[in-house]
Structure 1
């Protein structure tokens, strides 16, 4: 009785969620004398069932669209113990199905996110992610859960999903815990905080908490920077949807090589440019996640050349440039290789591809990116707009930035889109032959250093004008080239906040781009270089990315 009273007390304080093992395959196996199926950890007998006790955390950064619980969380991790001839295994639901967690915190203000104890997790070679807590972006399907795309019309029109995204299934089979779907910009459009109309933009925990959390994977970035109980955030990246939140929230982020992980079961923006994306607070953990869940190769050696494109340097902010110089010097020291300064525009002029017919880089490419990007962003949702119009007799509304992009996409012809696609293919091949080349040992004969993000305040209540994508943008270059792009927190810039009225600190990032398939080499290079220089390879949660009494 005392144990039950204590448990009831926890429930009443809304600090604990009971996860029932009844009706799971675990319950089925225990009833038949199964062995070693119940992991170590605390359990509770309550009424006629056995339960795990999960801790409830308030989402006070408003970063989650919905909290979820897997209906049978041991099924994916134990699947290998069964054969296809086993009747019990064959009867399990496939794909993995989730239930929404309909709980608020003690004050009734914030969603509660349920997290199991790590004591239940037993990592192994087959289950390297056992017990790892992960959020996934709202454009990834979870069976049993609605996908909102942060759009009222989309949420109103479609029911809960019947399938789970294939990459999420991979995470589950490796033992991961999916705790919820993080908020995203509407239709992954890269909205600024003032553009959000159907949901509240997540709160960036860094500095004064009134800075932009970045673009599309905003909820994933804000939650990982603010919640120590979360290990990774998984999102997607087209033109910076992982990289911008990584920089704004002071996190390690990777847009992987195009095609490194499946996007089956993910609502796309542009199928020719979308990738899964990864956010982590630790470089070594990021390396483990990428290695375990993608088809990427491990390098034998590191690259030996550092390319410094003059189109991107120096940056406008002097303090940011100083930090970037320090970062590049760390790479130079570790590789014992001075940077090679060059200009992409000048290199193109010296050896242009035949298809350019003598045109400069900017003249040839022109609007190639924007034509393909906006055409895809509009026509990917032709079916949605028709379904909504047929069902409700009016047009679906997409918000100011979505409308801006859809209007541009609607004005483009398929011929214009295909011409832009062909021009980008020419640029991609030229770049592979003249700038970054694949290597059998290092996977990339060179690395390209780039800045990432801004070092000056970007208050969430400031209006930001819409802009057209450019070929030499810090987040468009790797996108059109299908290359891995790694974002690295390298320091903090102080600023006098008009929101808090005190000195705050904003994270500053650098980044690395390598040849296609060199993702793990980039992470290894950064990790080794930072450790050799005594720089931090892990960031904190909360107000500061790094402690003020330490350097990067």
Structure 2
């Protein structure tokens, strides 16, 4: 494995625990978007690294993990400015996907997912704006949690899009992910779902095999599985990717336009093209999209509540694309992918990816998506199905 494609040379190489707690004995890595005092956060781009100063404070999230006894074994790579879902970085290389070496690892939290999937770290922290935890978790065959918007602190971290940015977690086994989540949030609810809804919009032949496997396992464990009347979601689906991208793109320019104007040529051409498109979004389009988002969020949360609070859906359209997939094909696939990942982002909901083992599509799986604040309900429900195993 190209170590530069996974670990960041600027460090830190190690951060020792600052206390004893529920995470004593575990180690972790963190995505190159979180600040550590005395080090420069690189955001996956060498020019960003050169043009920014050392951080003046450490991310409260990293401090929490160290205080709870975890040891940090390094900072890991991200797609440039976290503005991609592929896991490819033209400057540092593409981390090798341990579960599918001829496929992309997924991004933008590529280094986080690969390090955990390879077994080099017990858990990892990443960020998820448009799928950057859920997608690499799916492609690398591990568990990944995107929490409710605002649940975990993003203070002293790189901002991509304030409406959607979340800190997220990776682990090979769900009990470890639960320990980490509880160490961060101090939550201890033991509830789990007695029923789960399936969204009919995803019941195409492409996804049916995964949903059937989930349904059989759920029923074997005493969980009722019902079809959800998702007519309203079906009407929204063709619009979600563009709606999400419009809000995200406008906020990226609002936050970073000065730097991007000077250093656009340092970016991967595909990412630079997205930046140029984002510059065309007007304030009126942004405000109109925010209004539509509020309507979607209300309707979707009502749908979740009618389903008992949790629905199941495919995390990604299929397994990971091959490394040799042409960029134009990846761009088309990205639009389909973001139509799926945008749901949780636009609604501000938590989503937990559950890997499926020995699956013909390569690494992939399904997700449990719940009402805001239901992270432990999602985790406990998944634990009912997989226990200490590595997937379903």
Per the normalisation by structure 1, the TM-score is: 0.65
| RMSD after superposition | 2.7
Aligned-pair CA distance for 1:287: 0.9
Aligned-pair CA distance for 1:462: 1.8
Query: Using the alignment, how far apart are the partners of 1:325 and 1:413 within structure 2?
Result: 44
Query: Using the alignment, how far apart are the partners of 1:263 and 1:446 within structure 2?
Result: 26
Task: Give the secondary structure class of the aligned counterpart of 2:74.
Answer: strand
Aligned-pair CA distance for 1:385: 3.3
Within the candidate set 333, 341, 349, 1:475 is matched to 341
Question: Within 5 Å, which residues of 2 pair with 1:126-525?
Answer: 127-192=21-86, 196-207=89-100, 209-227=101-119, 229-294=120-185, 296=187, 298-299=189-190, 301-316=191-206, 321-342=208-229, 344=230, 346-347=231-232, 361=236, 367-385=242-260, 389=262, 396-432=265-301, 434-437=302-305, 445-456=308-319, 458-465=321-328, 466-467=331-332, 469=335, 473-494=339-360, 506-525=362-381
1:19-78 Cα distance to aligned partner (Å, 9 max, x none): xxxxxxxxxxxxxxxxxxxxxxxxxxxxxxxxxxxxxxx97584111352457x46x32x
Residue 538 of structure 1 corresponds to: 389
Aligned-pair CA distance for 1:416: 1.2
Query: Using the alignment, how far apart are the partners of 1:366 and 1:463 within structure 2?
Result: 21
Task: Give the secondary structure class of the aligned counterpart of 1:273.
Answer: coil
Aligned-pair CA distance for 1:510: 1.2
Alpha-carbon distance change, 366 to 264 in structure 1, aligned in 2, over 3 angstroms: closer
Checking the alignment, whether the CA contact within 8 Å between 1:240 and 1:476 is kept in structure 2 is: yes
Task: Give the secondary structure class of the aligned counterpart of 2:197.
Answer: strand
Residue 80 of structure 1 corresponds to: none
Checking the alignment, whether the CA contact within 8 Å between 2:240 and 2:342 is kept in structure 1 is: no
Task: Give the secondary structure class of the aligned counterpart of 1:476.
Answer: helix
Query: Using the alignment, how far apart are the partners of 2:366 and 2:325 within structure 1?
Result: 25
Query: Using the alignment, how far apart are the partners of 1:457 and 1:223 within structure 2?
Result: 17
Aligned-pair CA distance for 1:211: 1.2
Task: Give the secondary structure class of the aligned counterpart of 1:493.
Answer: coil
Aligned-pair CA distance for 1:460: 1.3
Q: Which has the higher helix share?
A: 2
Checking the alignment, whether the CA contact within 8 Å between 2:85 and 2:132 is kept in structure 1 is: no
Aligned-pair CA distance for 1:366: 8.6
Checking the alignment, whether the CA contact within 8 Å between 2:34 and 2:158 is kept in structure 1 is: yes
Query: Using the alignment, how far apart are the partners of 2:200 and 2:376 within structure 1?
Result: 26
Task: Give the secondary structure class of the aligned counterpart of 1:260.
Answer: coil
Q: Which runs of 5+ in 2 are unaligned?
A: none
| 4+ residue segments displaced more than 3 Å | 58-62, 360-367, 454-457, 467-472
Aligned-pair CA distance for 1:263: 0.3
Alpha-carbon distance change, 311 to 517 in structure 1, aligned in 2, over 3 angstroms: same
Alpha-carbon distance change, 70 to 404 in structure 1, aligned in 2, over 3 angstroms: same
Aligned-pair CA distance for 1:146: 1.9
Alpha-carbon distance change, 232 to 361 in structure 1, aligned in 2, over 3 angstroms: closer
1:417-448 Cα distance to aligned partner (Å, 9 max, x none): 1211121012111222x31239xxxxx93310
Alpha-carbon distance change, 429 to 494 in structure 1, aligned in 2, over 3 angstroms: closer
Residue 12 of structure 2 corresponds to: 68
1:77-119 Cα distance to aligned partner (Å, 9 max, x none): 2xxxxxxxxxxxxxxxxxxxxxxxxxxxxxxxxxxxxxxxxxx
Checking the alignment, whether the CA contact within 8 Å between 2:134 and 2:146 is kept in structure 1 is: yes
Task: Give the secondary structure class of the aligned counterpart of 2:245.
Answer: helix
Aligned-pair CA distance for 1:371: 1.4
Alpha-carbon distance change, 366 to 65 in structure 1, aligned in 2, over 3 angstroms: closer
Per the normalisation by structure 2, the TM-score is: 0.90
Query: Using the alignment, how far apart are the partners of 2:337 and 2:298 within structure 1?
Result: 15
Q: Which runs of 5+ in 1 are unaligned?
A: 1-57, 78-122, 350-359, 439-443, 496-505, 532-536, 540-545, 547-551
Task: Give the secondary structure class of the aligned counterpart of 1:202.
Answer: coil
Task: Give the secondary structure class of the aligned counterpart of 2:39.
Answer: coil
Checking the alignment, whether the CA contact within 8 Å between 2:233 and 2:300 is kept in structure 1 is: no
Alpha-carbon distance change, 428 to 296 in structure 1, aligned in 2, over 3 angstroms: farther
Alpha-carbon distance change, 336 to 181 in structure 1, aligned in 2, over 3 angstroms: closer
If asked which structure has higher relative contact order (CA below 8 Å, sep 6+), I would say: 2
